[in-house]
Amino acid sequence: MMNLEGGIKVKVLLLFMITLFSAATVAHGLGTSGNGAGTISCPGGKSEKGELSFSAFLNDLPIFGSWEVVLDDSSDDKTSNGGYLDSGKIDKKNYDLGGKETTSNICGLDNKANISIHGDCGNNGKMQVRADTGWKGTFEGNIDCG
């Protein structure tokens, strides 16, 4: 009787471990998020101080996420650009993301552009944003990847 109970306990333990491993494999994904302060440069040469925040996730599907650049000391919604992220790569050291603007008010540009955000992961990391319409930004802040 004792051996039978022990055998059942081992089978239940193995089943539990397999279930736990399978759940961890399904839930595994890579993500990155960050925020930082820096400078936005407009095509005409004008520069503004602002902040970038973004978040993206990849889990056996295309990347999905969002981003926003907001000018410092802004009190209205006409001083931000933002949109979604839908392509690129993420690993534990760096990221290279692509997406589209859905809001474009900075630099007096109202055209929606393709954008890219890339940089290194970690504290005091550099982040760069570039838009097809010519505006770009360089920011420094904390970027989590994993």
Confidence of residue 77 (pLDDT cuts 50, 70, 90): low
Tokens of 108: 């007096």
pLDDT at residue 78, as a whole number: 60
94-108 tens-digit pLDDT = 999 999 999 888 888
Question: Quick check: 1 pLDDT over 70?
Answer: no
Confidence of residue 22 (pLDDT cuts 50, 70, 90): very low
Question: Quick check: 145 pLDDT over 80?
Answer: yes
d(CA 22, CA 132): 42
Q: Write the Ramachandran bin of 110: left for phi over 0, alpha for psi from -120 to 50, otherwise beta.
A: alpha
Percentage with pLDDT > 70 across the chain? 75
Largest CA-CA distance found in the chain, in angstroms, rounded: 85
pLDDT at residue 60, as a whole number: 67
23-56 tens-digit pLDDT = 333 345 688 999 999 999 999 899 999 999 999 9
d(CA 26, CA 102): 31
- The answer, as to whether pTM is greater than 0.85, is no
Q: Tell the residue number behind the tokens 């992961």, with chain if given.
A: 121
Residue ranges of domains in the chain: 30-145
CA angle 137/91/58 to nearest 5° reads: 90
Confidence of residue 58 (pLDDT cuts 50, 70, 90): confident
